[in-house]
Structure formats: structure tokens, C-alpha cells
Structure 1
Amino acid sequence: MTDDTGSHDTASTDSTERTEQTEQTALEFDSETIDSTGRLIVLDVVGLQPQHIDPERTPTLHSLFPNERVTDLRPPFPALTVPTQTTLATGTGPSEHGDVSSGEFDRERRAAEFWERDRADRNRIWETASEAGLTTGALFFQHLIGTSADVAVTPSPIEDEDNNLIEMNCWTNPNGFYDDLQEAYAHFPLHNYWGPGANEEGSQWILSAAREAVERFDPDLLWVYVPHLDYVGQSDGPSSDAFDAELETVDEMLGDFLDFLSETDRWDETAVNLLSEYGFHDVEQPVFPNRALHEAGLLETDAEGDADIPNSAAFAMVDHQIAHVYLDTDADAGADAGTDDGANGNAGVDGDALESARELLADLDGVATVIDDAEKAEWGIDHPNAGDFVLVAEPDAWFQYYWWTDHDNAPPYATDMDIHDKPGFDPCELFFGEEGMVSLDPSTVSGSHGRVDESAYGCYALGGPAARDVDLSGIDAVDATAVTPTIEAVLEYGTLDQTAE
């Protein structure tokens, strides 16, 4: 946000940019709904918003979730995939669970890594519910490898040392479940799940796997991630005709799955929780914080054009509309970069230079807010994993990881589908490029997310035969932290407070 002089606020007080940091307890429903619910299906349809559920574009969803059963879902800050997913499935925010981005920055190695899929120490609702004696499942959520859920599926392709695909594979619980899925539905279509070929085939395969999970394991709780709208939300933006068309596609896919559920023996005791992690902003301005750092001599590059983060004084790990900036006062970065060939000088960088880096990034066109240590608690990201300071983009802007200006100086992976090697999220992977599989033209990206604005809230709805008298019309928005305790309350297990505030 800029004032009349054009300078940027360090911590905007605009309530549409920051989250309400008060965690909600469970929503309160009538005893009949709770008593009659023996199975709960969560359909996590990323990018869906309440205004998308109407008789014209999404008639199937509207029939199960009429207006009184639908409200906004307020994501945590930042409204990114991993932070929001972990919040939804734990009932805690990023300041507690530590997932502050879809990437992780290792301060000891000074390396940024995206989309690592191990469970690590994450303990989500399908794990806690399983420990409480329920049969649980989770499909295509992040960080599933190693989960204790009774049924789980997540991509785990076999790759060589250069991240080239050798053979498609999925990690599953139980062992061998992917072999059965592959025999019935062919290999999971990874190139339709993300990349220039992303389309409905990935989501359709996931929903087929969900049907198999219900038939074989009959889970009491099944969480299904449906990514379809994520592609068009980024490539074309939420206001596009293409987005409207894909709303109809996802409604048809979900309609087929709901028709299947309605024929199962436990349909009468089933509640369906429809939710979305976030909505999208229409964007038109890419912002390049690492380019500014490189030109200032604070970000080093090597002979291949890759960022030499361990020897750099500053680096921005970008993720859509958020950028975590990590500093290293001991780095030997130069002050005369000014080129794209990686030949920086060797002058040391002192504290004044690092402060100048902060001011440099704050002044970039498209940066709305800089969050310093003193403001992190207000934004819900006061965790050691967060950057030394955090950039928030303007609503129509987003951050790209590039540090080069000449395409000839781009690292080899820039034009490849290489989500693990890239040290920042790259939505250009949704577009074919002229010099490789992936485009190097960030102007093609028309949608992004990460800011927490009311216009880009997600969706929360509860329907199905077991949820007979649910009325959400009096609730302005459900906080993401309320989803897990509400599921616990509806399924009548757990230790969290089940009294609505």
C-alpha cells in the first residue's frame, strides 16, 4: 500500500490484508445432525468461492448446498497451499504449525525447497481421528508420505538425479493400493495434474481413487483434494470466461462422485463438507525481488546462472503473492552486481547494506506491505521458519523468483517442469515455452493468491443427508482454524472444545 508520496507502509492496518488471528472453536450444529452423522466426506475444491455455487454454473453443488448452507472460509495468512492445508487439518495457524509457505528454507544449508511430501512431525485430523479409532483417508493432500491414515494416495514419481521422470508412481496406504488403482485407471496422469497440460484428467483420476477408497475401506472420514480450478485460476484468473467454463466441468465431476456416494450403504449417515482453501485475485503485474537483490549485489549467482544462495547476503523465497526474505550478514556478496553473468564483486555486506535491501524491496512497484519481526505476531507468522521480513504484494501483483533479465542467463531448470529444484513457486509452468517446455513470460499469468482479502476468501459448506438442518446464513465467515474442531464435533470424538463461540 502506498501513501501520497509513493512510499510503502511497513505494516498496513488494512483489515482486508491481514487475517483475524483469533482461532475459532467448533461450529455448533443441532444434536440430530451430530447424532445421525457416521461418515464425513471433505471435498477440498481449491479456488471455489460461495458466489460460484449457483443454479446456472454449478447446479449439482447448488442442489446439495443451497445458499443457507454456504458461507465464506477465511484462510490463514498467508493463503498458500501448504499453510492453508495444514491449518485446515490441524486447527492451528502458521505461527504454531510452522508451515509459512509451500516452500521451506533451511537456514543452516541456506537452501529453499518446495513440495517435499514427507509427513515429518505433522499430525493432521486423519491421523488423530485414526488414533481415536475411526477409519480415515486422505487423498492428494500435501505431506502425506508416512501418514497413519488407513487409506492415502499421493504422487511419488520415480525420478533420476536430474529430476527427470523414470516411472510414474504414487505412495499409498496400504502398500499396493496404487498398483490396483493403476490397473483399473492407468497411471496417475502427472502431466495433467500440473504443467502446461494440466486439465480435468488429474482431478477425475483422484475422484476415481476416492470411489475405490470408499468401496474398499469405507472410511468414516475421507478428505479429497480436487485441484481442477487451481489451473485456470492461475492461468486465466477468476474473472475470466475460462474460469466460468471450468466451474461447470468441476461441477460435473463432483456430481458423478456424489451420485456414487448416494448409492452406497452409508449415504443416509453421510455429511459432505465442501470447502476451498482460498480464492484467487486477478493479477497483471509480476514483481521480481531477487532481480533487485542481484542488481544490488546482495544475491550471488554461479557460472550456470543459478542463485548461489549460501554465499548471498539476501534471498527472497517467493510463493505467489508472498515473499519470505532471508538475510545472511556473514555472506561475502558484492556491491557491484549489475550484470547477469554471476560475476559479483567480493566486498562484504554490513548491516546498513542489509537495511538498504529491505528498503530496496519495499520500494518495488507492486509491493504493498513489508512485515518486520515486530508485526509478525499480528499477521500470524511469528515462527522461526518465516523470513527475516516478509513481502506482501498488491492485489493485482505477484512475485516471480527470477533474478536474471536476459533469458540466456536463466538457469537450466527455468524452462523445465522442475518443481523441486526451483527455489520459488513458478506459475509459468502452466504455459508452454518457446525455448523449452515452460514459458519464461510471466505476463501470461492472470491469477494469484496469498493475500487474505475478503474478495478472495474460500468457501465453506455442509450438506448431505446427515446434515439435515444446517443453516450457515448467520455466519459471516468460518475461520480455517475451525474446520478440524468442527469435524471432531460432528463425528463426536476428540478433546478439543466443542462449544461454539
Structure 2
Amino acid sequence: MRKTVVLDIVALSSRVVGEHTPFLKSWIEGKKKAIIEPVLPAVTCSAQSVYLTGKYPSEHGIVGNGWYFYDECEIKFWRQSNRLVRSPKIWDHLKAENPEFTCANLFWWYNMYSSVDYAVTPRPLYPADGRKLPDCHSQPMELRDRLQKELGQFPLFSFWGPNTNISATRWIADAAKKVDEWYNPTLNLIYLPHLDYGLQRHGIDFEKIGKDLQEIDQVAEDLITYFEKQGAEVLLLSEYGITNVNQPIHINRILRSAGWIQVKDELGLETLDAGTSQAFAVADHQVAHIHVQNEAIFEQVKSLLRNTPGIEKVLDKNDQVEFGLDHKRSGDLVVVADKNSWFTYYFWMDDAKAPDYASCVDIHRKPGYDPVELFLDPKIKVPLLKVGSKVLKKKLGFRYLMDVIPLDAGLVKGAHGRIPEEDIDKPFIVGKKELISHQKIEAGDVYDLIYHTVKA
């Protein structure tokens, strides 16, 4: 089997490869590139699961970055157990053919408790005093300690949130080289998220994202150079491209105004009670899953959504078949935004009653994806002073609330999730010319390309 590296540079599209990415531009020109027709929804968890199983959400069950767990009547995002993915993975296939095959997975999602040989993934510590501390999880368990001894603590707060920067992506890249040095796996899967964040903040504005592009270009050059020196075959790919948006759709507020959302008063603030709501939305970038728990209002919900500005498609269960999205975890309706719009999870009508987690980086409690977590609240007059005082409380062991995130969805300028009209905004895969024979492939074909690269 051939030593292979799959380098996932999130949000890389043909539109952003150019003057700010000189290494990638040159490297790609010497290879063969194929546009990937993205899966719907074009989001991290769904796209990665298609690439690693060769199946679509209707089979592997990953209908988004999160979904409504019917048995618990709760919306949960960013779960981590690989057992949620209901289809065999590429490493299972390859290991069955050759017991000497090994695989390392560096930060691709659903990376806990899988059958992969070596895994590293973000996993904070949550002491009983309410703090959240940076850390990661690994397989084997001692790999976590070895990596953090060599590279320092995984910089969790640079991985996501308003302090996001290149250091987390650089840590992942350095960890990938260490894992390769120590274990020499046959297949390395490496996730580099840095570009995703600036593009969601600013959209396609090269004056603002040029630095991000230069930084990811440098990390890619370092990794590709390292692995090619080891004789590895490098496949470069992305999961989706990000496009400009200017209209947030507060879809749960629309459903609430119709009388279908149930909220609970908690100390004067509101939380969404999904189990008793007649209809609610699980918002995930430019796609939202609508669960209608009162059949009598189904047609009313459908009609309301079809007439909502910014919504381009309303897919019932029959329509979802066309997109490979017909799974029990999918909503009774799946709505897709138009190219200028995206969906918030906001369900409160008055910001004074927003739940306490709304103004925090709290990806597991929010009943939907929240890109506004990438911003510090511009209303804070001296942000360093406010953040610093909260960090001091944390260091002293006091309970604290890092409520520094704004509630202004209009700050977000880039999004993804729908299938873009232009190929220049779609993901792509790059490899040797003899391995990639088409100019465009389906998302499910990525699995075969990885498989045949390893087997070649």
C-alpha cells in the first residue's frame, strides 16, 4: 500500500487560491484538480462523513453538524463519538484487505472511539467549579500527553471563538508530523480549519482575509514538503467553499411568531423547549431542519416557509431523497437559504431575555450553529479589560461567565451549506494526474479516490 496523506484545508475554493497563496497555486498547477459537487448540507460533519464512508447522509446518518435527538428531545451539536456515523469507514475497508495498514486521524470530526489506529481531537476539560480548560483527546490515550509535552497545550481558544488564529491550525500540523514520525501510518488524515474563520467573519474580502490565506499557505507548504520528502502521495481537498451573505434569517423567531415554539422561563431568561414545541428549526449555516411535531400544522408550516424571504428550497421527505438526505435524523422539512442568506438559531424575541449562553462561546448548549461566536461584542468599550478580568477570575478559581459574544447576526459576512451556483465556489480535490481522471466528481467519489491512491 502507498503511504498517503489527505490534507483537508477547510473552505478552500478556486476563488481564494491566487496571489495570497503562492505555494498552493504553484503546487496545484502541477497536479490534476477536480471540482467536487458538494453534499447537501455542505457542512463539516456531513462532508467529512461522505468522504470517509462513500455514502450519503441517508445512509451514514450525519445530516448536519448537529440534529434533534428524538429519544432525548434535545438538539445537540458537535457530538464526537464515531459510533454516530452509521457506515463503515475507509480505514476499516483498507485494514480488512491488509492487516498491516494503519491510519492516523488528526482532527477530522467524529474522531473519538473509532477503529482508527491513531487519533487526536479537541476535548476540553470541565472541572466542577465551572471552568473550561484547553485539552485534547487521543488514541492511544498516552499520545495526548506525549504531544502536549512536545508541542505545548493544545490552544483550544485559538481553535474556535473570537480569539481564533493560526496557532491552533499550526499545532495540528506539527502534531501530524510528530504522529507520522513516531508511528509512520499508511494513511494520514489531517484537518486544517484556519481559513474557515476569517471567511465567515469577512466573506470574500481579500483586504481582510489576505493574511489568513498567507498563513494557511505557509502551513500547507510545510506539511506538503514534509510528507513528499517521506515519499507520501498527497491529496489536497476541501469540504465546501464560503460565499458572501448579507441576510440572517431568524427562522425560529418566524416559527415562534406563528405560535409553534415553546420557551421556558429560567431566572428571567428564555430557553427553547424542543420537546413541547409544535414546530422548531435546527439551524445549521445555510440549511435548517424543521421538525413538525403536530401533524395538523404541517401544511401551514410548509406554506409559511415557502413564503419566507431568503428561503430558496423547502424539501419534504420525498424531496430529500434527491439529495441523499432522507434519514430519520433529518427534519420533516429541510429548508435551504438563497445565496445571500443564512439561518440563525435565535428563538427569543427580546435580547434582554436571551439565554445566558447566547453571549458565550458555548457550542454544545446552543440549539444550532452560531458563527457570531467568532466576534467580540463591539459594544464592549474596553474588551481587553473585560476579558482580562474574567480570565483573572478563572485563574483564581472563581466561577465566571465569559459573556463577550454579540447578539448581532448581521456581523457575519460569509456562509456555506447550500450548493453554490458557480464551480469556483465549490470544494475541490487535487492529486496526481494519473489518479484523477475527471474535471468534476461527486462528493461520494472522494472515498474511491482516497482508496485507489492508497492501493495504487
The TM-score normalised by the length of structure 1 is 0.81
Q: 1:378: which partner in 2?
A: 322
1:272 and 2:234 correspond: yes
1:39 and 2:3 correspond: yes
Distance 1:357 1:175 in 2: 48
Q: How do 1:41-80 residues align onto structure 2 when only pairs under 5 Å count?
A: 41-54=5-18, 56-66=19-29, 69-80=32-43
Structure 2: runs of 5+ lacking an equivalent: 381-402
**Is residue 130–residue 149 contact of structure 1 (8 Å, CA) maintained in 2?**
no
Per the alignment, do residues 63 and 471 of structure 1 end up closer, same or farther by CA in structure 2, a change over 3 Å counting? farther
Q: CA deviation at 1:161?
A: 6.5
Q: CA deviation at 1:238?
A: 2.6
SS in 1 for 2:208: helix
**Is residue 138–residue 153 contact of structure 1 (8 Å, CA) maintained in 2?**
yes
SS in 2 for 1:108: coil
Q: How do 1:75-474 residues align onto structure 2 when only pairs under 5 Å count?
A: 75-120=38-83, 122=85, 123-131=88-96, 132-133=98-99, 134-160=101-127, 164-165=131-132, 167-263=133-229, 266-267=230-231, 270-304=232-266, 305-329=270-294, 351=296, 353-433=297-377, 434=379, 436-455=403-422, 456-462=425-431, 467=432, 469-470=433-434, 472=436
SS in 2 for 1:324: strand
Q: CA deviation at 1:159?
A: 1.3
Distance 2:84 2:365 in 1: 23
* Paired AA for residue 290 in structure 1: N
Distance 2:311 2:109 in 1: 28
SS in 1 for 2:335: strand
Cα displacement string for residues 32-74 of structure 1 (whole angstroms, at most 9, x for unaligned residues): xxxxx721101000111134334x3222223332165223122
Cα displacement string for residues 63-88 of structure 1 (whole angstroms, at most 9, x for unaligned residues): 33216522312211110111111001
Q: Determine which structure has the larger helix proportion and give its number.
A: 2
Distance 1:81 1:453 in 2: 16
* Paired AA for residue 470 in structure 1: E
SS in 1 for 2:161: coil
- The number of residue pairs the alignment matches comes to 424
Q: CA deviation at 1:239?
A: 4.0
* Paired AA for residue 354 in structure 2: A
SS in 2 for 1:112: strand
Larger radius of gyration: 1
* Paired AA for residue 411 in structure 2: T
Percent identical: 33
Distance 2:17 2:352 in 1: 46
Cα displacement string for residues 343-400 of structure 1 (whole angstroms, at most 9, x for unaligned residues): xxxxxxx71x342222222222111110012211112211111100011001010000
Cα displacement string for residues 161-184 of structure 1 (whole angstroms, at most 9, x for unaligned residues): 79741x332111112111111111
1:490 and 2:450 correspond: no
Per the alignment, do residues 262 and 80 of structure 1 end up closer, same or farther by CA in structure 2, a change over 3 Å counting? closer
RMSD (Å) for aligned C-alpha atoms: 1.9
**Is residue 313–residue 354 contact of structure 1 (8 Å, CA) maintained in 2?**
no
Q: CA deviation at 1:271?
A: 0.9
Structure 1: runs of 5+ lacking an equivalent: 1-36, 330-349, 494-501
Cα displacement string for residues 72-118 of structure 1 (whole angstroms, at most 9, x for unaligned residues): 12211110111111001111111111111110211232211000101
The TM-score normalised by the length of structure 2 is 0.89
Distance 2:452 2:309 in 1: 46
Per the alignment, do residues 250 and 271 of structure 1 end up closer, same or farther by CA in structure 2, a change over 3 Å counting? same
Distance 1:93 1:297 in 2: 34
